[in-house]
Structures are given as C-alpha cells and as structure tokens.
Amino acid sequence: MNNIIDKKNIFNNFNNSSSIKIELGCGSSKMNPDSIGIDILDYPEVDIVGDIFEVLKKFPDSSVEHVSSNHFIEHISDINLLILELERVLKSGGIIDFIAPHFSNPYFYSDPTHRNFFGLYTFSYMSFDKIFSRKVPTYQKNLVLNLESVDLIFKSNKPFYLRHVFKFIIGLLFNSCVYMKELYEENFCYLFPCYEVRYKLKKK
C-alpha cells in the first residue's frame, strides 16, 4: 500500500536535469536546507512523508546528485538494500554523506529502535576502499561506490562541557591520520568511546 505524502508535489514536477539533493530521515530539522527532506514521520521540515524504500522507488535512475543523513541509517532494517537503491538513484559522481553512531557510543543501546552497528570499516564491505590498511571482503558485490573518507567524531552532549573539550582533543589525535584511526578502533575504542562516525562515498 502506498502511503507516500508528497507535500510539495515534487514527483509531479520532477526535472531530471536539475540538481537534486535528498536528506534521509531529516526529522524536525534538516542539515541541508536545500535538500528534499524524507521521513516516515510528518514534521514541518519533511517534504516527502513515507517509508524510505517506497519513496526511493519513485526517484528515476541517475537522478540524485547528493544524499545525506544524520543518525538515520542505524534505524534501517536492510542497509544493503538501502545502498543498492542509492546506487541506482545517484548520478555518476554523486555523493553519499552519512553520519551514524559509532558502535562504542555509550548511548547506542539505550534506543530500542537502533538496528545496525557502524565502525570504520562498515562501508568498506560495500564500496571500493583505498583508504584503510585492513582489507575486508566485499562478497563479490558489483562495486559502484568509492569510499572517499571516514572520520571519527568525538563529543559529549550538554551539559557535559568539560567532557566535550576532552573528547574534542582526543578526536584531533585519533583523526590525525589513517593509521591513528585504525589504531583507535582496534585498541582504544572502549577506553575512549567515540560518539559518531561520518562516511563519504562517491558513485564511480
């Protein structure tokens, strides 16, 4: 059953030649004001209300230039299916920009809607990775994405300002180079928990 609400009549006025940016699970505020906000809940900032897979099916092949999400992909039941759909809708050279909780995030398990874990290598399994020394299998996937960057984000929520400063400094150390990122995740991630991880992928 199709329960999509296209609040701005975007699909009926779709122009495949224009610069289309979409934000998945934007919630009550968008990271990028010029993006099309998609969410299953009808907040004022949401432009298209509906299940993400049903909404993505309505986008033509190679029609989207940029995809972003902030604390959304950990709620998705099937990451591989999401990536396949995004590969389809992305234009050549299109960008995916994901922010998700790192698996060591101390608050991760408090949210019962979280379904997936994310670390440095998560998208190395689904893309062409020339970044990391540690190599992981791609299970014979047809790789159409390049892994452009992965960054660890260390921070603390209000009102823990002193903790935030300490974690910011830790972040500068462990994000200083790829070697330090890999050293961190193998040896220090539970001593100094990381809050988020940010991925940038590009369609070949």
**Predicted pLDDT of residue 1:** 46
Give buried/exposed letters for 5-28 (b at 16+ CB in 10 A, else e): ebeeebeeeeeeeeebbbbbbbbe
Q: What is the number of residues in the chain?
A: 204
Domain ranges of the chain: 5-152+196-203
Cis peptide before 193 (omega within 30 of 0): no
The top-level CATH class assigned to 5-152+196-203 is alpha beta
Q: How far apart are CA 89 and CA 170, in angstroms?
A: 37
The rounded mean pLDDT for the chain is: 95
- Segment 149-203, tens digit of pLDDT: 999 999 987 788 888 899 999 999 999 999 999 999 999 999 999 999 999 999 9
Q: pTM, whole model, 2 decimals?
A: 0.94
Task: Judge whether residue 127 has pLDDT over 80.
Answer: yes
